[in-house]
Amino acid sequence: MYRVQDGWLQEARRALSPNREPRPAHCRPELLVIHNISLPPGCYQGSCVEQLFTNCLDWEAHPYFGQIRGLKVSAHLLIRRTGELIQFVSFDERAWHAGQSSYGGRTNCNDFSIGIELEGCDDEPYDSVQYEVLAGVTRALLAAYPGLGAHAIVGHSDIAPGRKTDPGKAFDWARYRQQL
């Protein structure tokens, strides 16, 4: 069982990102956005994602990093392929995960959403432990934030269609929702 206290998931290791800011007045989490990430693409278990979200990535360490040089992004939480949890931004703050986005007629989804990154890529199956951890974390978030609901859980592709494809075709939505 996972617990959220004062905006932090108690079971997660914290790695504070500077890429965050207060939510606009009267904005509380009302949307959960599922993403995927791997750096370099398709490579897992390294520290590059954490370095990206904390603005410490060595842009010269891999040729791909030249394409994202200077990018300043974050997510609230990363679920590694092992199930390890790393939280970068308090759920009570605005993380920089959604970019240009809209949901339910509202733009700028970062204002009212929580972003969870799964270590992975669009076309490679996620690990079972990731589904288990994601479902447990989701239950904790639904309990902690009354404005969130199972009806408002989407992929990045749903709020930025044509621009984003994650969590991708390999993400098993039915399996995830069944575990909720």
Among all residues, which ones are annotated catalytic? 117
The torsion angles phi and psi of 158, rounded to 5 degrees, stand at -75, -25
Q: Is 43 exposed, middle or buried (0-12, 13-18, 19+ CB in 10 A)?
A: middle
Question: At 134, which helix (H) or strand (E)?
Answer: helix 128-144
What whole-number distance in Å separates Cα of residue 41 and Cα of residue 30?
A: 30
Question: Cβ contacts of residue 13 below 8 Å, gap of 6+?
Answer: 84, 85, 86, 87
